[in-house]
Structure 1
Amino acid sequence: MKTFKEQNLDSKTIRYQNTRTLVKQSGGITNFGKRIQKSQSQASQFAGETPIKGIGNKIARQIEAEFGKPHGWLDIPHNSKEQITSIPDTTIGKLERDESSTLSIVINVDVTRDIEKGVWIADCNAVNVTTEAKSYEELVKRFLLIAPQVMEENAINLGSAQAVFQFNYLVNLNINY
């Protein structure tokens, strides 16, 4: 496979090809447009299969921000090994790559403690899971058993990425019923 330099690609072409990768990962131009807060028509003008406009610096930085990419990511050639996942139609977490090049999607799980009921509660809107348990340790174990099943039932596809659940302790609840 030829590198971008061997293919004589200019910065405009590199930016466009990287954007097209994000369009594909988003599930199409409509989902891509929603993610960057543009209509399908607007997004198609610069990110469609036959664009009529180039991608300026302002929109490039907006795309990078919305996809959790570092500043300037669109302007750098990326080989196919870096483009190995498909993102679900709705974003459920932040895409990350660790030192071993494992691609992960970090999914936040809100954890609260209901003092009155004496239970810990885990709530994750991204994968539509809420559960409770008597201890924090039991809660984490239960959530990690349930979440993958619910994701499969709801056809949440992470492509080649693995789900990493980040448990965020919010507050103690003291609710009187």
Structure 2
Amino acid sequence: MSRFEVAFSGQTVPGIPLDTVKSNLARLFQADEQRIALLFSGRRVVIKNNLDAAGAEKYRTVMERAGALVEVVDLDAAIEEIELAPPPADPQAPQPLKVAPRDEYMAAFSDVEAPDFGLAPVGADLQDAKAEAQGPQLDLSEFSVAPVGSDMGQAKAAPAAPVPDTSHLKLME
């Protein structure tokens, strides 16, 4: 059993005004103007997926009656695989070096194609130059610096509680 998806790309039935199609779709989907605008954004929007053939055809006919042309895609269709041809050889491109392996271990890597990197001269900078970092532009004109030793508005300590009067207390033996 094949599965289908119904997608809309903003195409309308010829001869039907765009405003009519938008109002028909708003009524059909019970959607507000913002959601209908998303349907007509120019991108492909999947309306419904995982439908059987009858359900997909029903969606297509209802949408077509509303003035919108939809695309019904078979999700289970076989995808044709295409094998790309290798790019043509550039006669001016440098040819890879052929190196004879020094032992049995290195012979395993003899078929590896790697780019032929050259060596930089002694003292050359191998890292790309970086642009100078720019600090943020801040307006600090409303701030000033207080003189050394001035009170910066720290909270004052609460005054100590008064010493309780203990003159009326006596010790007895």
TM-score (norm 2): 0.22
- Larger strand share, 1 or 2: 1
Greater relative contact order (Cα < 8 A, sep 6+): 2
Structure number with larger C-alpha Rg: 2
Q: TM-score, normalised by structure 1?
A: 0.22
Q: Which has the higher helix share?
A: 1
